[in-house]
Amino acid sequence: MTSRRTKSPTESVSLRETLISAGLEPNLADQLDKMPHRVVQVEPRRPFREPGSPRDEVMFVRSGILSKFKTDASGRRQIVALRFPGEGILPRNGPADYGIQAIVRSEVMVGKAKDFDPIVEANPPMQRFFWRLVQRNEAIGYEWLVNCGRRDSTARVAHLLCETAARLRVDEGERMQNPFTQQQIADITGQTSVNVNRVLADMERQGLIKRKGREIEFTDWPEMRRVASFQPAYLTI
């Protein structure tokens, strides 16, 4: 599996650490860490939460990547959001119309809304923290809409790769263990896996990336950013 590589996205750290590195103050992170919860191993591309199921849970990703997805009437899947380590999925009233699946094998902390909500409600700084996270997710969603609506297929894939590198905190020029199958890239960027394949091959031909299996090396990061028109400001609230 992909879970035992150095610097892999699926490397496991404590929730406390991941939350702190997401910007939460240590004493608040402790409170969440002490909340009753269990840690679940989620296998990729297996149903984890179905669309329409109730969402009286909080989830935080400890390692790996979760995706929220919806399915069109014709059965075509669209991934509408990703959650990287330290990020979470907050509870909502009533069922959610999206399902949840893992992109790669993931460790997820799952707690109950009734344990989570009071902690947040009693705690203005924590409210502000989650408020910021929600705004960041909103900004990412808007950027994805621009991606799907206005960029050509190469730029869409390039943008996803840039965003992923940024969210995984891969340093410029460093190699990245690409967590996505080509089908998943297609499901995120609104294309077919066939075309994603061609786009990736093109990008390699043009010297933007090198590929070894799933591993991707950005051989021309500035050009990559340009092709993707990637402005990472939206990721840092």
Q: Which residues make up the interface to DNA (CB under 7 A)? A: 1, 44-45, 152-154, 181-183, 190-195, 197-198, 200-201, 211, 213-214
Kindly state the smallest distance separating residue 131's Cβ from DNA, in Å. Answer: 36
User: Choosing among a copy of itself, DNA, none, which partner's interface includes residue 134 (Cβ < 5 to 8 Å by kind)?
Assistant: a copy of itself
Residue (53 or 183) nearer to DNA, CB: 183
51 binds, among a copy of itself, DNA, none (CB under 5 to 8 A by kind): none
161 and 151 Cβ atoms separated by less than 8 Å: no
Which one, 29 or 188, has the nearer CB to DNA?
188
Q: Which two tokens stand for residue 123?
A: 């705690």
Q: Is 2 in a helix, a strand, or coil?
A: helix
Nearest of 19, 210, 170, 35 to residue 114 by alpha carbon: 35
Q: Which long-range contacts (CB under 8 A, 24 or more apart) does 136-144 make?
A: 136/235, 136/237, 137/81, 139/234, 139/235, 139/237, 140/81, 140/234, 140/235, 141/80, 141/81, 142/234, 143/234, 144/80, 144/188
Nearer to a copy of itself, 14 or 127 (CB): 127
Give yes or no for residue 127 binding a copy of itself (CB under 8 A).
Answer: yes
What CA–CA distance (Å, rounded) separates 21 from 213? 30
Contact characters 96-115, a copy of itself, x per CB under 8 A: xxx-----------------
Q: Could you give the string, one character per residue 143-182, with x where binding to a copy of itself holds by CB under 8 A and - elsewhere?
A: xxxx-xxxx-------------------------------
